[in-house]
Structures are given as C-alpha cells and as structure tokens.
Structure 1
Amino acid sequence: MIGYVTIGVSDMGKAKKYYTDLLGDMGAKVLLDLGRIAFIGKDMKSPMMAVCTPHDGSPNHPGNGNMLAFQPGSKEAVDTYYKKAIELGATCGGEPGQRIPDQFYGAYARDPDGNKVAFYHFG
C-alpha cells in the first residue's frame, strides 16, 4: 500500500550515503536520483523512502511525530541495525529492547538530520 515516504535532509550526498550504508544489507540502493530528491529501496515496485532537500529552499526540519520504521527480520537484526545507525552518525532515540511483552521489540535512532528512525520486530 505504501509507495514511498519522503524525509527532508540538509545534504543530499551525506543522506544518500547514510541510508544506503545503513540499509544496504536489506537490499537498499539509490534507485532514482533527480538531484534534489533521491528514491532509495530494493526496486521500483516495492515500498521506498526518498531523501530530499525542501522544494521551497527553506531548511529541512524533522517532523514531530514522524518516523520511518524498518523491519529487518529478527530481534538480533534490530540490535545490529541500531548499532550500525549509531556508528554512521545517528543519535540514540531509544536503545533496543522489548517494548510490549512478547509482541514488539524495537530500537530508535535519529539520523544526522534529526529524522526519527525505528527498527522493529513483532513476535
């Protein structure tokens, strides 16, 4: 149902590198680069994320309540992606842990532009 989600960034080169380095093990790569916006994902038929500089030329601002969430496949993978995000320059938004007993395991980070990213596993 979701085609793509877009987040604003301040530096396209840094954002593309950050997200392709972070999500490359899930098959993510830059699929379409149009200068001020780039689509990142596995293929053009699967849900994607896009990074862009704001159209109006104003500075980007992370949205309060906005978040990208990635499901890497296991609790161990949640831990791995969270650690990788931090190593790539993200800040902690909530260390990995069980949030809802036996249902939801998650970790949260803020990318170098302050956008909130989650890694999660149900079950």
Structure 2
Amino acid sequence: MAKLNYFTVGSNRLEDAKAFYDALLGSIEMNPVYEHPSGGRLYRGKGVGMFGVLGPFDGGEACIGNGTMAGFGFDTQAEVDAFHAKALALGGVCDGAPGERMPGMYFAYFRDLDGNKLCAYNLSRPS
C-alpha cells in the first residue's frame, strides 16, 4: 500500500523560513536532516515523513499553491492548539482558529512567512 511521506513548500526568504521551521518543527521533535542544494532544508521526526522548505527547482520565484496545504496530525487537541500558537508566535498568520470542523475532527490553519498554508489536526475525541 502506498503512503504519503513528504511535503515541501517553496520560499523566497530561505534564511527566515529555515529559522521559522527550525523553531516550529523543533517544537514537535522534527529536526533538520539535510541541507538542500537550493539553500533550503529538510526535516524529519521519529515515525513521521519529511517536510522541506526549498528554493524552487527552476530557479524562479516561489509562490503559494492555491488550494495546496500540508497537514500535521497530532494525538490531542491541546497539541494542535500549541502548534498553531507556536506558528503564530513565530510570525505565521492565522487562517482558521483551532476548533471542531465536524464531530471528532479538530483543525487549526495558518500560513507561514511566505503564505504557504498549513494545518494542524486531531481526529480523535476531545482531549
């Protein structure tokens, strides 16, 4: 069976983006594992796939994908809240406050420093 195991976003501000993601992903024990030739960085945590912030392969400007979003799953709603709050404290922008979107499905949305949309979610009952 196939499984999705990595996601990347582009950045035009790689040094700022790496500082943002070092702090944000470090808060959930995802650490840098590779310095990408584009000037970007790949991250990985125990038991999870990889996430990367990269300069575009074609050398052009990075732009956000309209409708593109990466999701980070958490065991509890409190972890979702903390991750969302950390992103905002690091300069991210709220794009949907934490809350239940349908029974048993708790989501929070934010945009990173370049406008890429990310989501934190929990699919269990309230914690």
What is the alpha-carbon distance in structure 2 between the residues aligned to residue 93 and residue 53 of structure 1? 24
Shift of the 48–97 alpha-carbon distance from structure 1 to 2, 3 Å rule, reads: same
Range with greater deviation from structure 2 (32-41 or 62-71) = 32-41
Match of 2:10 in 1: 8
Match of 1:73 in 2: 75
Where does the alignment leave 5 or more consecutive residues of structure 2 unmatched? none
What is the alpha-carbon distance in structure 2 between the residues aligned to residue 81 and residue 46 of structure 1? 16
CA offset at residue 56 of structure 1? 1.9
CA offset at residue 46 of structure 1? 4.1
CA offset at residue 14 of structure 1? 1.4
Match of 1:58 in 2: 60
Task: Pick one of 41, 46, 61 that aligns with 2:44.
Answer: 41
CA offset at residue 3 of structure 1? 3.0
What is the alpha-carbon distance in structure 1 between the residues aligned to residue 30 and residue 11 of structure 2? 18
Q: How many residues align?
A: 121
Whether the 8 Å contact between 1:62 and 1:115 is mirrored in structure 2 is yes
Where does the alignment leave 5 or more consecutive residues of structure 1 unmatched? none
What is the alpha-carbon distance in structure 2 between the residues aligned to residue 99 and residue 67 of structure 1? 16
| Structure 1 residues 52-94: Cα deviation after superposition (integer angstroms, max 9, x where no partner) | 1112222111101111111132101111111111110111100
What is the alpha-carbon distance in structure 1 between the residues aligned to residue 66 and residue 92 of structure 2? 17
CA-based RMSD of the aligned residues comes to 1.5
- 1:14 aligned counterpart, secondary structure: helix
Shift of the 63–116 alpha-carbon distance from structure 1 to 2, 3 Å rule, reads: same
What is the alpha-carbon distance in structure 2 between the residues aligned to residue 20 and residue 76 of structure 1? 21
Q: Which runs of 4+ in 1 moved over 2 A?
A: none
Match of 2:21 in 1: 19
What is the alpha-carbon distance in structure 2 between the residues aligned to residue 75 and residue 3 of structure 1? 23
Shift of the 72–34 alpha-carbon distance from structure 1 to 2, 3 Å rule, reads: same
